[in-house]
Structure 1
Amino acid sequence: MSLKVAEDASLFAKAGRALGWSFASTAFGRLSTLVIGIALARILGPEEFGTFAVAMVALLAVLSFNELGVSLAIVRWPGEPREIAPTVATISVAASCFVYAVCFFGAPFFADAMGDPTATPVIRVLALSVIISGLVATPVALLQRGFRQDRKTVADLTTNWSSALTSIGCAVAGLGAMSLAVGQLTGALAGAILFFRFAPEGLRFGFNRRKARELLRFGLPLAGSSIVVFAATNVDRLMVGALLGPVALGYYVLAVNLSNWPISIFSQPVRAVAPAALARLQGDAPAMRTAFLSTAGLLASVTLPACVLLAAVADPLIRFVYGGVWQPSAPVLVWLAVLAAARIVFELVYDYFVVIANTRVVFTVQVIWLVALVPALWFGATAGGLWGAGAAQVAVALLIVLPIYLYEMRRVGIPPGSFTWRLALPAAGALAVAAIALLAARLSSIDLVVLSIAGAAALATIALLGYRMRGVLRSLRTVGATAE
């Protein structure tokens, strides 16, 4: 076996182990906090959830660019990452502190614009997470670079459990929406301590002017793109809150959280590993394209059936798990689950263009998406309420964003036919799951029965699709060798 083959085999073995840890971490973290999330929804209700959602939108906005995009440079830096880590840490923390100051003083204006002035103190407490995010940006990137998802798993689970248990304790004590902010901050602090402990270099500060210029040249376009990505993926919450009020926003956020389950469990673990693995193949374009297409097929096989399942059982799921008070969330969940399937595919494509340093595509697509989404959301929300807001987003994603991505992929050597063919069978399986779920709902009025039948159908479909693609799993480990 040649040295190159051995190195590539080792790379994909590491990526495979990292992906396994990443998936286990996310799945266990999400499942372990499910019961706590349900309890919080039942304790607080839609109005308190709406107040917290206003604050969370503000936090997500600043987290999208708070470290100026420089930490991602560690993942794809061609040289030794230790040479830039101190400079990355300094830029990240300084930028995050500045962003928090802006957030603190701007909180009253943002809360008023969202129709909920009581959210101001919640925003200020929650936004402290921005500083913590800046502190851990470098350690997290170093762990990703080294495929140390095992250590990241421990830190992530600590974050999730600390946040969830603190939130529910505060909610029972009567803190309302502030309980969620305190819980989020507590979890972030607990996770940060472990990230500092686990990272290869811990947290070191320093500043190299030449490296800083290189990092900012790389990071600022990504930070600008991240702002647009945030706006494109969160402008729905901004407009729902502003147009329909905080209570409607509470219903909407519950639907968003449920629709994000397939993204959190399946897409995020892949995104934690795929960019680093693809970056190692930058010198072998055919191998990188093969790895990308294989990853897309695998991801679609598990996520499309899961997303369609959520859409098909939205009504009995909301009613059975969260109670009748949350029933207005069901109609919008149908659309948001379909949108989640599209977003999972788009995020993988986004990461591919980031790895090949085609920031023009990354930025342009997000701008077009945002420009199209704003009027579509306004029309959908004013004409159809929550249901209309969800439908508008699906229309923009499928009719505008998808064709642009297919066109841009063809320009970099990935034929649209090859890409869509990888999604065809998973899409057919997802439609079969939807048909079984709808038939079960028609034949039975018992929510638990409907959910059990539909869930079993989805699990069986995912298992069959995964078994069919077992060869792809093996090829991912040796794609570098076949491209030699």
Structure 2
Amino acid sequence: MRLGIREDAPLIAKAGRAVGWSFASTAIGKLSTLAIGIALARLLGPAEFGTFAVAMVALLAVLSFNELGVSLAIVRWPGDPREIAPTVATISAGTSLLVYAGCFAGAPAFATAMGDPRAAPLVRVLALSVVISGLVATPVALLQREFRQDRKTVADLVTNWGSALTSIACALSGMGAMSLAVGQLTGAAAGAVLFFRYAPQGLRFGFDRRQARALLKFGLPLAGSSIVVFAVANVDRVLVGALLGPVPLGYYVLAANLSNWPVSVFSQPVRAVAPAALARLQGDPRAMRRTFLSTAGLLAAITLPACAVLAGVATPLIRLVYGAVWQPAATVLVWLVLLAALRILFELVYDYFVVLADTRVVFTVQVVWLLALIPALYAGATTAGLAGAGAAQLAVAGLVVLPIYLWELRRAGVPPARLGARLALPVAGAAVAAAVCVAAVLLGPPDPVVLAVGAVAGAGALAALGYRLRGELRELRTAPAAPGPAEPVPA
């Protein structure tokens, strides 16, 4: 069976095949490491998990801007992306080395500010992943541009398995929180080897001043926006760690990881393909808006039932799977899962405006989100602990961010009423699934029975929505590509 995609294949066929491979990669990777993640949580406990979480916050911070956003230019480049790839590789690798030097020097101060000085060595080890990320940025972008999600699937699986198996081996040997850092670095290095091998032209360095100026003009605003995006996504962990300590942070991170499952399994595969697919429809704005709405409806139909079930069975799920010692995480999991449902929509809207090159919307929304989130999180965490921090995030997302995005979509030609019509059925199906789960919890049967009821409710909602929305899928599969090549979009 051929895994590749013919160059003359229609755009929708290419994007659909890429989404399929991206989904398979993410789903297999997540499911295959679930058992190992549970074992690590039981082996390490909340305290060690919290120490690792402190270091992980630092890593995510620098990964958000370490290659200055220039690799995304490869995805959106109107010509042959290989002509700019060597310059992109040089900028990415150079900036990642500088970023690592800053991480190494600032690790002790950061760990102390987070309330856990033991995390400083972990920060230094994990930060080596920044260098690897800078090196693979160009190969990954080239694979994304060519819709070669099949090759990316293999590399991602090697990364996930290498990280998970190394972590659990180190944990069994008594390395504690450092086992997670060593595993993360090992997996990233193993995956990088395959990315270099699979990329259309491997890893080549070069430098063209004219291209570098254009790339930085494009990438720096996105890098600045990425810093704000990181702050929005991770300021909760920073404040929870600083205000409540590393053990509550361990509970919080476990809940956050669980809540991100619908996002990572369903939303991220679409985000790996959607920018490139939408970018190729820039020559036909109506087709681009139609594809966005259809994608939003189908994505909601897949993800919202999963979010509803996860929220409904939060307490029995954590108690049964992770153990009673982790039960405090359930108090915040409900709020974070509901937040994840909104984030799935927000991320698709974010990508839509990136393709439109409307950096004003991208940046402004993130800044407003951050400014509203910091005081809300502080108030929530200090008054109601973990649950208060989760509730504060959901309130800001629903009452501040959602109205702004809807207003900007209206300005871009996507009426909120049309988007609401696409989301109405998925929301209703998710509500029914959630009600079934809550009723099962209140009736008080054993935890395995509650989880089984939740699984049936989620699967039933997903099947019903899939049947009702089959026309949306047919519309996506038969939508014509934009006539002619897409026009270059100014950065």
TM tier, smaller = over 0.9
Alpha-carbon deviations, 1:243-285, whole Å to 9, x = none?
A: 0000000000000000000001000000001110000001110
Say whether residues 1:256 and 2:253 are aligned partners: no
The CA deviation at 1:9 is: 6.8
Distance 1:482 1:432 in 2: 39
Identity of aligned residues (%): 75
Distance 1:162 1:7 in 2: 33
The CA deviation at 1:479 is: 2.0
Distance 1:445 1:465 in 2: 28
Q: Classify 1:8/1:229 alpha carbon distance in 2 versus 1 (closer, same or farther; 3 Å).
A: farther
Alpha-carbon deviations, 1:202-233, whole Å to 9, x = none?
A: 00000010011111111000000000000001
In the alignment, what sits opposite 2:105? 105
Unpaired runs of at least 5, structure 2: 1-5, 485-491
Distance 1:79 1:400 in 2: 39
Aligned amino acid, residue 164 of structure 2: A
In the alignment, what sits opposite 1:150? 150
Alpha-carbon deviations, 1:392-427, whole Å to 9, x = none?
A: 000000000000000000001000111111111101
User: 1:457-472 maps to which residues of 2 (within 5 A)?
Assistant: 457-472=457-472
In the alignment, what sits opposite 2:272? 272
Structure 1 contact 301–466 (Cα < 8 Å) conserved? yes
In the alignment, what sits opposite 1:353? 353
Aligned amino acid, residue 433 of structure 2: V
The CA deviation at 1:475 is: 1.5
Distance 2:483 2:212 in 1: 35
In the alignment, what sits opposite 2:178? 178
In the alignment, what sits opposite 1:222? 222
Q: Classify 1:215/1:244 alpha carbon distance in 2 versus 1 (closer, same or farther; 3 Å).
A: same
Report the RMSD for the aligned CA atoms in angstroms: 1.3
Aligned amino acid, residue 428 of structure 1: A
User: 1:163-174 maps to which residues of 2 (within 5 A)?
Assistant: 163-174=163-174
Distance 1:239 1:443 in 2: 36
Distance 1:121 1:142 in 2: 34
User: 1:17-96 maps to which residues of 2 (within 5 A)?
Assistant: 17-96=17-96
Alpha-carbon deviations, 1:349-402, whole Å to 9, x = none?
A: 000000010000000000000000000000000000000000000000000000
Alpha-carbon deviations, 1:140-184, whole Å to 9, x = none?
A: 000000000000000000000000000000000000000000000
User: 1:196-207 maps to which residues of 2 (within 5 A)?
Assistant: 196-207=196-207
User: 1:205-244 maps to which residues of 2 (within 5 A)?
Assistant: 205-244=205-244
Distance 1:328 1:47 in 2: 13
Distance 1:160 1:343 in 2: 24
Q: Classify 1:481/1:64 alpha carbon distance in 2 versus 1 (closer, same or farther; 3 Å).
A: closer
Structure 2 contact 281–482 (Cα < 8 Å) conserved? no
In the alignment, what sits opposite 1:445? 445
Distance 1:281 1:115 in 2: 49
The CA deviation at 1:445 is: 2.8
Question: SS of the counterpart of 1:202?
Answer: coil
The CA deviation at 1:440 is: 1.1
The CA deviation at 1:443 is: 2.1
Distance 1:363 1:185 in 2: 31
Distance 1:470 1:211 in 2: 45
TM-score by length of 2: 0.96
The CA deviation at 1:239 is: 0.1
Structure 2 contact 10–481 (Cα < 8 Å) conserved? no
Structure 1 contact 281–480 (Cα < 8 Å) conserved? no
Structure 1 contact 100–127 (Cα < 8 Å) conserved? yes
The CA deviation at 1:14 is: 0.6
Distance 1:372 1:456 in 2: 38
Question: SS of the counterpart of 1:328?
Answer: helix
In the alignment, what sits opposite 1:291? 291
The CA deviation at 1:442 is: 1.9
Runs of 4+ in 1 over 6 A off after TM superposition: 6-9
Distance 2:173 2:51 in 1: 18
Alpha-carbon deviations, 1:303-344, whole Å to 9, x = none?
A: 111111111110000000000000000010000000000000
Distance 2:467 2:141 in 1: 32
Aligned amino acid, residue 469 of structure 2: M
Distance 2:80 2:7 in 1: 17
User: 1:298-337 maps to which residues of 2 (within 5 A)?
Assistant: 298-337=298-337
Instruction: State the aligned residue count.
Output: 479
The CA deviation at 1:199 is: 0.4
Aligned amino acid, residue 326 of structure 1: W
In the alignment, what sits opposite 1:3? none
Distance 1:480 1:372 in 2: 41
In the alignment, what sits opposite 1:386? 386
Distance 1:288 1:112 in 2: 48
Distance 1:180 1:67 in 2: 24
Unpaired runs of at least 5, structure 1: 1-5
Q: Classify 1:466/1:98 alpha carbon distance in 2 versus 1 (closer, same or farther; 3 Å).
A: same
Structure 2 contact 70–215 (Cα < 8 Å) conserved? yes
TM-score by length of 1: 0.98
Aligned amino acid, residue 121 of structure 1: P
The CA deviation at 1:32 is: 0.4
The CA deviation at 1:478 is: 2.7
Distance 2:481 2:323 in 1: 54
In the alignment, what sits opposite 2:364? 364
